[in-house]
Amino acid sequence: MSKATISPTSPSILSPHLASLSSATNDVDISSAPSPQSTSQYIAWAPLAWMAALHLGALLALNPAYFSWSGLALAFFTHWIAGGIGICMGYHRLLTHRSFATRPKWLEYVITGFGCLASEGGPISWVADHRRHHAHSDEEDDTHSPNRGFGWAHMFWWMTPDITSRHTPDYLKRWAPDLCKDPVMRVFNSIHFLFPLMYAWILYSLGGMSWLVWGFFVGTVSLLHSTWLVNSATHVWGYRNYETRDRSTNLWWVALLTYGEGWHNNHHAFQTSARHGIRRWEIDPTYLTIRFFEAFGIFHSIKHPKLTRAKAVANETAKGGTAPASASNDPKPNRSAPIITLPHVTLPNVTVPNLATTGSDAKPVGV
């Protein structure tokens, strides 16, 4: 297995990411420029009906008769197991960006199953949409840019998606060729809707209406809107550590709701890093969970930050000197936060793409 050099990047250059995956799988060519975004849209009736049912079910929580402390505890559990473990750690950092690997391999499928509980679609479809977002973040072809309105970025993008983002076989093979080759992931992508249905039935069977309303409906709706805030709020409000090519920001309260995913500007600057919180106060529970399992040998090949000499280079440049050519691609560090790059990492069963940045991508703000 070849080793890949992972270095800070901006979201506009994920196309090399996908080109590398293409060369590894030998089944799709995505090096050509994307087609212009079509104005034609369609209504996604099936997910729209399901989301409407979830929200109507959550409104039942207004009836005091359905409240119980055990139901409330289950709501938090659903938010964590489906949202925190399934989506944030599983769908996002594991499947989309391959920030770490599992030992044994089948544990990846268990985590993917938790992601299916979240009602955010199958793993291949989710990964394809997210990689497309990184490739064209805040551009015309972005899957869910707030350039088309906050509501569009938050949830309207999946209600009335553009024709060019319909989950056709060609679309999935273009943006997630590695997952399309995995027969287990293809099964997950076909039957993902069964997972929340079974989960709802189990909760109702064990705890009645209280567990169904709070544990399933309230827990699911809260995790949906929490993760959707990463698409919307963290491209509108917050602060920026790095001058990426998009408008991604870091927003502490979104990070709190999404187990560290709200440090979104950091993530767009270092897309394949398992660690999103860079500054000391940017707490990243998902990364801490990954490190916890690493201690037991369950997770491995974690791409985590490593300090470089970029700060010395930046200081020399600030004094009027010239940065060495060998360090010209390193982002210049913020005075209050260390800059990271990622070490050479070899992952099993997938070729990690080279996301080397060029020019002035991912420069820290204020330097």
Q: What does the pLDDT look like over 6-48, one tens digit per residue?
A: 444 433 333 333 333 333 333 433 333 344 444 578 888 999 9
- pTM equals 0.78
Q: What does the pLDDT look like over 179-236, one tens digit per residue?
A: 999 999 999 999 999 999 999 999 999 999 999 999 999 999 999 999 999 999 999 9
pLDDT band at 342, cuts 50/70/90? Answer: very low
CB 74: neighbour CB atoms within 10 A? 24
Q: What is the largest CA-CA distance in the chain?
A: 70
287 pLDDT more than 70: yes
Q: Both tokens of residue 140?
A: 């015309």
Question: Who contacts 160 (Cβ-Cβ below 8 Å, separation ≥6)?
Answer: 41, 42, 43, 44
User: To the nearest 5 percent, what fractions of the chain are helix, strand and coil?
Assistant: 55, 5, 40
Question: Who contacts 253 (Cβ-Cβ below 8 Å, separation ≥6)?
Answer: 262
Q: What is the structure's pLDDT at 126?
A: 97
The SS3 of residue 358 is: coil
pLDDT band at 365, cuts 50/70/90? Answer: low
The SS3 of residue 95 is: helix
Q: What is the structure's pLDDT at 362?
A: 55
**Mean pLDDT, the chain, as a whole number?**
79
Q: Does residue 270 contact residue 238 with C-beta atoms inside 8 Å?
A: no
Q: Does residue 131 contact residue 18 with C-beta atoms inside 8 Å?
A: yes
358 pLDDT more than 60: no
Is the torsion defined by CA of 250, 316, 273, 81 positive or negative? negative
Q: What is the structure's pLDDT at 67?
A: 98
